[in-house]
Structure 1
């Protein structure tokens, strides 16, 4: 009953959100909410980055760069819907955060709250969705990131932010070509655990001593399972690197290595680590040899190996995996079929 009531209340509230005001864009502006058939503003009392992050996420605008106070984007009119908003930052909507009741406040429109959200993309020559020159959208303009101190920790934050898994490397010196216009960040120093590049230490937006010949990039290695008799969760292990799919040699290939592949692909645990091209021989590149995983790594590229493209193998030694994910799925189907037959 409590769940039903909660759902009903949410339906009755029916709140929409938008960013508007002077100098606003799709991802920056004065925060306004639509409630009771009326657009109204949010008061800036206790307004901070946690609150702004919820708004940015709700609007699909990435991560908050700042949480302006004092009607930074101009004063709204009419209703002030929320005051004393206190988000943890993990909420799915601003209405899920702690706040006073709708319409209860002690504010004037000179205290209207705003947000500036930041978006990130990978672009440039030879770029893919998960590799390319790093660019950030700020102040209505796309700009690049300087490679001073740029490393794997920084690249891993970018990959995580874009849903691209683990970074292979952090190319410098405009590896994906030189950008144009603004250089937004320099001396980026991420620990690697941040949710967004803008949460890492840096010199400040637009403060740098760089040229576009120093534009930073990221590279990500993709994995797939393929070959004869393969399924989504079993097959010959192949990696996409340098714009080319290639295989992995079975020298020292074992269950620990297979565990990492299965985890990386969301396929459960490893049941077997077939060798000798069990799923058929691949063609072209052999990317990895002498892979030695402990089994706890997040990505196959984090395991010890001989270096990309360095091997003494043939495709008759291509490595494979059999993961539990697909097998468990088939067991579930068999169980369901037998239950239906009995009924």
Structure 2
């Protein structure tokens, strides 16, 4: 028997007192989640997160007699500990009976501080808690970042495989009506905590979101910059149509199950601010009227809005009764929102669905190098600007050279990415010497996407 096992099994230790090498989880929501603390030389201390991983958490969960390890956070996720930092550089294979059996450490030797304390979250069958789901990061309860509760900890969902089918099941699960959009890339801000689900696959027939397929809980290859989101119809749903990118366009609202327009009488930046916030596109830049992005069709639902700018959705703004406007569609209201980097538009072409590919980053529009540009990259672009399938991927500045920076170089897409900036590429602004004479372009099938009908 090893010295460690002899110490932990010794009968001379009074019941209830900690034993040498004992582990506990502190600062968490229940006994099976928290900061990892180890008892050594008569004192409780912490573990450094250098090399800390799910295998080490697996050993910890077994040692504290909890269920399987779900998450292995570092960076003092459960608060900073006190006292010594007992262990650093652990190399566990996951089968060890105790943390002290893992290789790579000497008691008390470390290069850390308590801001690097390791944690673990384990399943706990003694505190049953069915998984829950909510939307965060938006003022409307039916839009936002998808967050899931597991083991009493809220975490996020990776946008790999995330699409309208998954969003449809989730919106129905939440009682928020049909899904309108399934944005990824942390449209509603980066979450915190674990990334609980990845590679979610739904048939669309599920009545419960948690009946969709996915990787094992906590297994993923993502970061919080890839958090998934949804926009459900909900109450007074809003969408932007016929604009050059996702955060600009004609304002359309859903009422009584039908999409209609907003009249530009009284339309101003405060009204636009409510819309931009509601669709997750940041602050409002302008509030154009006069059917800037084309005339819509159907009912003109709202007119003479007097929003303060802080409302959760347009339906909370003072206005005459729904449908009472006599405006024509030549007065359709629109917005242009700041959005985030990664916005895409097609410029210099014959219509909004063909042209030079331009992206917004750090507040500036720039182009894309065409050296590795192909139809798969154009497919991602056409989907992002809501223009249907890609027909061609011309390079060599087919629609004229752009201005400003060449933001992306060496772009290689599979065609399945949600947004162009998620394709394999050089870092922003590193174009590999590309000039505007090599600007990439895309020609898409046309303007009649499902968003613009």
Instruction: Give the TM-score, by structure 2 length.
Output: 0.32
Normalized per residue, the structure richer in helix is: 1
Which one has more relative contact order, counting CA pairs under 8 Å at least 6 apart? 1
Instruction: Give the TM-score, by structure 1 length.
Output: 0.41
